[in-house]
A and B are shown apart, each in its own frame.
Chain A
């Protein structure tokens, strides 16, 4: 019941002098997303210098941003969960389940909006199962979502009858446009600058989640729960309900990513999203979200996703074999946690 915390016995003078309020600029510079942004900038400059003809092009920008968008979208919901000191390992499998289920409905001749609504509903439901087991049955998130990782994948495989589904029926055109479409913006040289729907959705979601995390009571409660769940409970915050909702939000963002990616690919396979939980959690952690809960933000997930995919893109450009890629992702995760540890130490 009672948490133990070292309690200082009196007020030392440096307690009073050390704590000058830091300005907004100082806070930003001290934050992990800032340094990840710097890293992204440096990698861009280096790769552009090495490959001036292929890297700094509109096509490549379109491709990279399209590539990391689904991971970034899923990172938003994942961050909500991690803020409460939870984790969702099932997001990769959930993607496949949403993708296959939606594709089967479309294949059966359902209109696009039925398929999309069903997909989002399945995401919410899958998240609700995770959340209910964590919040109301009090099982550890790691174990629960490791279980559903296996369950959701299995359901996707069964539902797919081991086929890759290409035929999206009469609703297919709209469905493919939603996930695979692009928007052109007029550019200075008179040309057009294209951005994928997926990336635009990521930008919008990053703003929405950033806003919710910072200003909306629900968002603040995520931090409170991650900081001290017992205290949150004592002050009357509906901890269990909010945890459930966090997992549902994670299911929802996963479904959004799954639907868009399925539309973009023009096919649904039951292998979709395999090991993607790694990339989603990596994006969150590299962007400064603390796995111990209570710390992190939406922009961190955005820039974290950008970084891990930019690394892939750059490795390819530098001629490194693609098989080395996951090694770099792993190194970055460890490096990010190490950085967090070091910053935690200087913080005292």
Chain B
């Protein structure tokens, strides 16, 4: 059974039709590379799956059960973790606090519960180490490089054991070595039976880890096929419209 299934998802923003009836299935152990030109509707699709806003019409099924997400927490409760394209970080807080934002580790102090900073920093440091990032948990995100910010955003998905991880442009702002780490992480997720959706403009990254590729063009799905049945040339043609569909 599909971990995630979308049926006829559409989304309007006023007159703009960002998604025009998208169907999609994703099984565990799959890495779906989602590609498409700017404005094709990739981020919109991610935000619908993540519960940021509802689709204008269409259905989302998790493990075969229809779900209506009213807020991001609903999606997270269904085992969906997201790395947003804009990373969704608070510049004025430390890296560690950002990782745990909204699900702080707490400790009781009499009748009140307090943020357990020592444990947050300790655990965040472990996560950063796992990602081979030199991000220090106590540093403010404001002072960080693109790669360090990215590590913070990705570390968040490691807090729970999600069924499904969505990554919107996770390698857009980082160095070559760190790209390799992110791709390794995606492979690890795949091998441990997670489902991953990777959005990227970088063809080599997508081909390095994906099992399947889906292409969106102006809100419509124009291709959805196993990676071995396609090529970077074909995908490029599909993105630009030189090839109508495949």
Contact = CB atoms under 8 A, between A and B. Distances in A.
Query: Do A and B share a complex?
Result: yes
B146 A3 contact: no
A232 B90 contact: yes
B175 A235 contact: no
A233 B72 CA distance: 8
B222 interface: no
Contacts of B178: 11
A235 B102 contact: yes
What's the interface size class on B, roughly?
35 or more
A63 interface: no
Contacts of B92: 223, 226-227, 294-295
Interface stretch (B22-30, B109-117, B205-213): B109-117
B45 to A, nearest CB: 13
A95 B197 CA distance: 55
**Chain A, interface SS category:** loop
Contacts of B144: 15, 19
Contact of A237 (B89, B102, B113, B115): B102
Interface string A1-24: 111110111111001101101000
Nearest to A8: B146
A55 B72 CA distance: 58
Interface in A222-240: 223-224, 226-228, 230-237
Interface residues of A, number: 37
B93 A223 contact: yes
A15 B173 CA distance: 14
Contact of B113 (A217, A236, A347): A217
Given A10-B174, A233-B72, A224 B90 contact: yes
Given A16-B134, A234-B52, A3 B86 contact: yes
Contact of A231 (B71, B89, B113): B89
Given A19-B139, A236-B103, A347-B143, 9 more contacts: A2-B43, A7-B149, A11-B174, A19-B136, A216-B114, A234-B72, A234-B82, A235-B101, A236-B71
25 contacts: A1-B52, A4-B86, A5-B87, A8-B173, A9-B146, A10-B147, A10-B175, A11-B147, A11-B174, A12-B145, A15-B144, A15-B145, A16-B134, A217-B115, A223-B92, A227-B91, A228-B89, A230-B86, A231-B101, A232-B102, A235-B102, A236-B76, A294-B92, A295-B92, A348-B143
